[in-house]
Chains A and B, each alone.
Chain A
Amino acid sequence: MISVKDLYFSYTKKPFIEQVNFEVESGEIFGFLGPSGAGKSTLQKILTGLITTYSGSVKVNGTEVKQRKNSFYEQIGVDFEFPSLYEKLTGRANLRFFNSLYQKQGDVETLLASVGLLADADKKVADYSKGMKSRLNFIKAILHDPDILFLDEPTSGLDPSNARLMKDMILKEKAKGKTIILTTHNMFDATELCDRVAFIVDGKIKALDAPHNLIMSKGATKITYTYAQNGKEKIEHISLRKTSEDELLSRLLKDNQLLSIHSSEPTLNDIFVELTGRHLQ
């Protein structure tokens, strides 16, 4: 569905995106994970044809993006990080306008109802809350039933319930067989939503795999326990796999001297830090 080979791009003389190679299969949710300024949004701008001054090959749905025609945009839907809506128009008028741009048109009323905006459809967008704008922005991107969706920080700035709603909508699109490219610096979203993620730092892909594989390949569940010694609380960390080898732990368990014990699994963020030496947020 998407094939990127030897991609190189620069805003200045200094390279910004370098030697990027990856492929995305149909029906997959593919995430770009990285800190701000890593090149995620630039990569998405290249994939959507907003930037065409790249070198290398970028094929989206069989089209070399540099040579795209306007019909290319019938096949893709884009949801930018910040809502792009006409504030003076109503939600319904916005959707009707965007719908009119495409050959394949969606059912505005059904889409509004699907995200709980039917009752507010005649309100001006300027009067919408951030969550409402995000939902409207999302359905605007899927109005023409595109094969590929590009989502830039879809849950950014949303409260937990609206973020949940957004993630459910994304998963619903995946269930329909859509290919989704997700740009985020939220490791939890990436872990939950993505089939595969690419860690991007300084315009380069540092790692690319399924979130679970990345977590399991580099880290194992750890155990942390505390106990008292000479009136002071001591803390120890060991790998779950080495609990039987830890004589101190065995003794403390036998003598009922443990003060606390808990396990913790590494997160995608831990793996990201370990692989790239950088923090996500």
Chain B
Amino acid sequence: MRRSLRQSFGIFISQITKDSMLLVVCIAPILAACFFRFGIPIIEQQLTVYLHEPTILTPYYLLFDLFLSMLTPYMFCFASAMVMLTEYDENMTSYLAVTPIGKKGYMVSRLVFPAAISFLGSVLLLLYFSLTEWSMTMIVLMCLLTSLASIAVALLVFSVSHNRVEGVAMSKLSGLMMLGLPVPFFVLSSAQYLFAFLPSFWIAKLSLEQDLLYFIPALLTSLIWIWLLYRKFERKL
């Protein structure tokens, strides 16, 4: 099982390296991190001078960090969904399920492994490229939650789309899953709870209010999304 999982993940990586679009997708978070870390402060400096305001973007630096923490798992899981859709087109999904990899092994090598790698990538990017101060505990919790939310995104894209073209369109739509991030920053009334079904909303609440209790709804919403979409995913295999 272990060997077949390793081989299955190996072919997954090999497919990404053979696809220039997916390769760029996986490198994109690093480029975005550089832009956020070095570009945003420069833009802020220019804007404050031009508009004669003390701060413009600075109050939202945490929001940029949140987007950064979500970007790596989101991009990795998008790449994963694209690989799975290609495999689905090539009848590989069903075939791998009747090899020692099995359905569960397939899911682990296509969703859990990429999410685990993106978790590490996300931690590193937040450590070295964040615009605000983060405690190690908060970084780990945040990256764990964003990785789980991204698994839900990958499941959504794969389960709903029939091919890669539909998958790309669906991925754009699934960007709405990140819509919960800015809500606590801009919607201060209780109307913000209209977005409570989105894990990203609770992730933003957790980081903004630094209250660990928000970890629970953030985790639960992610797991519910995963549970609901996994049933659809399993039917498609």
Contacts and interface: CB of A to CB of B under 8 A. Distances in A.
A100 B9 CA distance: 12
A199 B92 CA distance: 29
B101 A80 contact: no
Interface in A33-57: 48-50
Interface SS of B by simple majority: helix
A80 B100 contact: no
Contacts of B97: 50
By Cβ-Cβ distance, the 7 closest A-B pairs, closest first, are A84-B95, A84-B91, A101-B4, A70-B102, A100-B7, A78-B98, A70-B100
B91, B99, B101: most-surrounded residue (chain A CB, <10 A): B99
B90 A87 contact: yes
Interface of A: 48-50, 70-71, 73-74, 76, 78, 80, 82-89, 97-98, 100-103
Contacts of B95: 78, 80, 84
Contacts of A102: 4, 99-100
Contacts of B100: 70-71, 73-74, 101-103
A127 B235 CA distance: 31
A83 B91 contact: yes
Interface in B1-52: 1, 3-4, 7-8, 11, 14-15, 18
A49 B104 CA distance: 13
24 contacts: A48-B98, A50-B94, A50-B97, A50-B98, A70-B1, A70-B4, A70-B101, A70-B102, A70-B105, A73-B98, A80-B94, A83-B91, A84-B91, A84-B95, A86-B15, A86-B90, A87-B90, A88-B18, A89-B14, A101-B7, A101-B8, A101-B101, A102-B99, A102-B100
B18 A100 contact: no
Given A86-B15, A98-B99, A100-B7, 15 more contacts: A50-B97, A50-B237, A70-B100, A76-B98, A80-B95, A84-B90, A84-B94, A85-B90, A85-B92, A86-B90, A87-B90, A88-B15, A101-B7, A101-B101, A102-B100
A49 to B, nearest CB: 7
Contacts of A87: 90
Interface of B: 1, 3-4, 7-8, 11, 14-15, 18, 90-92, 94-95, 97-102, 105, 237
Contacts of B18: 88
A33 B14 CA distance: 40
Contacts of A100: 3-4, 7
Contacts, number: 58
A88 to B, nearest CB: 5
B91 A101 contact: no
Contacts of A76: 98
A50 B91 CA distance: 13
Given A73-B102, A78-B98, A101-B101, A86 B92 contact: yes
B99 to A, nearest CB: 5
A192 B146 CA distance: 58
A45 B101 CA distance: 16
A263 to B, nearest CB: 44
A83 to B, nearest CB: 7
Contacts of B99: 73, 98, 101-102
A49 B98 contact: yes
Contacts of A88: 15, 18
Nearest to A76: B98
Nearest to A49: B98
B50 to A, nearest CB: 50
B11 A86 contact: yes
A101 B5 CA distance: 8
A84 B92 contact: yes
B7 A97 contact: yes
Contacts of A48: 98
B98 A82 contact: no
